[in-house]
């Protein structure tokens, strides 16, 4: 009897290890598959044009040179101007940071109201906001252009911020609302009896609880806004274009030979901030997505 059961555990242990190995092999393959494009981009951006023309696509650079990066950053042509990505990168920063902060803050306030300060019509308003998440971008382009014109902020960075905040509120409200409904309503009642008002309860009790969902929302919004192309190309002018639009212009302004290394470097530069946000805050992202109710 004893021998038999010993045998069985041995066997199942063996089975488990095999499964593990298969799992890791598969995961590694998938990881390689997804990393390959990035690998090609990074290596290509470090090669000289000469080497790109003569060498193989997936070969490591024989000679590492940052020239392409310098050009992409400071002197690549985006049409008639040749200042590289730099000014547009800062446009994107000036656009994304306030838009992310504003839409997150508004989402937090909205979510707090919808989840904890039920009022007549709260459900309807929340449904409308949800609906707003699913309106295709293309539908709002013309009315939005008109509205921006009326407001006198057409073609400006504040105008773009406005568009992104409006468009983001639906999602950010949804995130915060779903997080805040898990917080027992007795917490609000206790704070009311303690004498705190609407904003005080939000500030002292809800915001401190919200770190995980703030991280989720910020990552989400930042990715959306930084990577946006359509709004950027529709509602900006020559001096206010975001980095995505500039990237497109660099890649498409064909003057003579195609500078693949510059294009790749520019693409990486444009993608770097979102990558960075994930690396820094990704841990909290997962945690925030799975965060459950708060036990007082």
Partner 1 sequence: MAPILDIQNLFKNYGTTEILKNINVSIEPGDFLVLVGPSGCGKSTLLNCIAGLEPTTGGNLFIDGQDMTHVSPKDRDIAMVFQSYALYPTMSVAKNITFGMKVRGVDAATQERKLNEVANQLQIEPLLNRRPGQLSGGQRQRVAMGRALVRDPKLFLFDEPLSNLDAKLRVEMRSEIKKLHQNLGATMVYVTHDQIEAMTLATKIVVMRGGVIQQIGTPAEIYNKPANLFVADFMGSPAMNLIPATVLRNGKGAQIEISREGKEPILLHDQKAIDLPEKVILGLRPEDIAEAGFRAGENIQEAECHVEMVEPAGADTYVVSELGGKQVTARLHAETRASAGENLRFAFDLAKASYFEPETGNRLN
Binding site for partner 1 (CB under 8 A): 184, 186-187, 189-197, 200, 204-205, 208-209, 294-296
Which residues, in sequence order, are CB contacts of 203 under 8 Å at separation 6+? Answer: none
Beta bridge partners of 155: 236
Per-residue exposure over 236-252, b if at least 16 CB sit within 10 Å of its own CB, e if not: beeebbbbbbbbbbbbe
Alpha carbon distance 20, 159 (integer Å): 52
Contact of 266 with 67, CB cutoff 8 Å: no
Q: Which is nearer to partner 1, 75 or 185 (CB)?
A: 185
Min separation Cβ 211 and partner 1, Å: 9
Q: Which is nearer to partner 1, 12 or 123 (CB)?
A: 123
Min separation Cβ 188 and partner 1, Å: 9
Min separation Cβ 96 and partner 1, Å: 29
Q: Which is nearer to partner 1, 135 or 294 (CB)?
A: 294
Contact of 108 with 168, CB cutoff 8 Å: no
Alpha carbon distance 79, 257 (integer Å): 15
Q: Which is nearer to partner 1, 7 or 194 (CB)?
A: 194
Alpha carbon distance 81, 263 (integer Å): 16
Min separation Cβ 204 and partner 1, Å: 7
Only one residue has tokens 């101007």, namely 81
Helix 137-151 × helix 157-180 angle, to 10°: 120
Min separation Cβ 200 and partner 1, Å: 6
Min separation Cβ 294 and partner 1, Å: 5
Q: Which is nearer to partner 1, 154 or 196 (CB)?
A: 196
Q: Which is nearer to partner 1, 127 or 197 (CB)?
A: 197
Alpha carbon distance 134, 267 (integer Å): 28
SS3 assignment, position 120: coil
C-alpha distance across the termini of the chain, in Å: 50
Q: Which is nearer to partner 1, 136 or 208 (CB)?
A: 208
Give the rounded distance of the alpha carbon of 15 from its chain centre.
Answer: 40
Q: Distances in Å between the alpha carbon of 50 and those of 23, 264, 281?
A: 41, 15, 39
Burial class of residue 155, CB neighbours in 10 A (0-12, 13-18, 19+): middle
Q: Which is nearer to partner 1, 37 or 296 (CB)?
A: 296
Min separation Cβ 197 and partner 1, Å: 8
Min separation Cβ 213 and partner 1, Å: 14
């Amino acid at each position: 009897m004893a021998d038999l059961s010993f045998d069985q555990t041995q066997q199942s242990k063996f089975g488990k290890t095999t499964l593990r190995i298969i799992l890791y092999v598969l995961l590694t393959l998938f990881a390689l598959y997804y990393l390959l494009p990035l690998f090609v981009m990074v290596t290509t951006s470090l090669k000289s044009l000469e080497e790109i023309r003569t060498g193989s696509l997936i070969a490591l650079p024989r000679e590492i040179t940052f020239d392409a990066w310098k050009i992409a950053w400071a002197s690549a042509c985006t049409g008639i101007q040749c200042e590289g990505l730099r000014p547009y990168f800062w446009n994107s920063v000036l656009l994304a940071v306030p838009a992310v902060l504003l839409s997150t803050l508004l989402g937090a306030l909205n979510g707090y109201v919808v989840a904890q300060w039920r009022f007549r019509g709260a459900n309807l308003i929340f449904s409308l906001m949800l609906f707003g998440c699913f309106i295709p971008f293309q539908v709002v382009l013309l009315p939005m252009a008109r509205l921006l014109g009326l407001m006198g902020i057409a073609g400006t960075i504040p105008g773009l911020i406005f568009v992104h905040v409006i468009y983001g509120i639906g999602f950010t409200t949804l995130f915060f609302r779903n997080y805040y409904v898990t917080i027992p309503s007795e917490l609000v009642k206790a704070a009311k009896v303690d004498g705190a008002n609407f904003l005080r309860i939000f500030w002292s009790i809800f915001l401190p609880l919200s770190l995980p969902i703030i991280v989720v929302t910020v990552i989400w919004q930042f990715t959306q806004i930084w990577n946006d192309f359509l709004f950027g190309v529709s509602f900006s002018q020559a001096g206010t274009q975001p980095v995505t639009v500039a990237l497109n212009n660099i890649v498409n302004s064909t003057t003579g030979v195609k500078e693949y290394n510059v294009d790749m470097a520019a693409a990486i530069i444009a993608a770097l901030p979102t990558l960075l946000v994930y690396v820094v805050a990704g841990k909290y992202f997962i945690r925030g997505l799975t965060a459950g109710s708060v036990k007082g």
